Amino acid sequence: MPDAGLGPAVEMVAARVPVRVDVAVTSDRYPPAVEATAYFVVSEALANVTKHADASRAGVTVASVGEHLQVEVCDDGRGGADPVRGSGLSGLRDRVLAVGGTLHLESVPGAGTVVRVDLPCGATT
Ligand SMILES: Nc1ncnc2c1ncn2[C@@H]1O[C@H](COP(=O)(O)OP(=O)(O)OP(=O)(O)O)[C@@H](O)[C@H]1O
Ligand SMILES: [Mg+2]
């Protein structure tokens, strides 16, 4: 990840997605392991939008929520994502769990996809 922080890094990934991606990323800084995990989540989720979703738009939000960093990647595509069909989503879950976070996937067929990850940030002020 470029050292300029998550915002510019996410913008670079979003620019490679062939549909409009609305990006909103906090400018706060977090420990490197947290930022790297957040970046990895956005990269894989947006790769999935490009490969699988057939979406007309997507969105990325990275926000401070209490003492957690919440990462959300959504699209309005076909839904029906299933971690057993690949290694990307299950790898994400492993990586998120390894830093004490949680991953929640909402992907009803026909109703788009939301990947929501919650990462504890540790006490850095
Ligand atoms: N945003 C999405 N919209 C629709 N389907 C999705 C989306 N993301 C994932 N999927 C479906 O869920 C499956 C599992 O996704 P996953 O990322 O785990 O694997 P992959 O992208 O197929 O392969 P890999 O990530 O290992 O290169 C995909 O094969 C695809 O069928
Ligand atoms: Mg994938």
The domains of the chain are located at: 6-120
Average pLDDT over residues 10-24: 97
**Dihedral (CA of 104, 115, 40, 45) sign:** positive
Average pLDDT over residues 76-101: 96
pTM of the model: 0.95
Question: How much distance in Å is there from the Cα of 47 to the middle of ligand 1?
Answer: 9
Average pLDDT over residues 11-37: 96
Those residues whose C-beta lies under 8 Å from the C-beta of residue 109, and which sit 6 or more positions away, are 78, 79, 80
Which CATH code of 3.30.565.10, 3.90.1490.10, 3.40.50.1370, 3.40.50.2000 fits the domain covering 6-120?
3.30.565.10
86 CA closest ligand 1 atom index: 19
List pLDDT tens digits, range 40-86. 999 999 999 999 999 999 999 999 998 899 999 999 999 999 999 99
Q: Which ligand is nearest to the CA of 81?
A: 1
Confidence of residue 125 (pLDDT cuts 50, 70, 90): very low
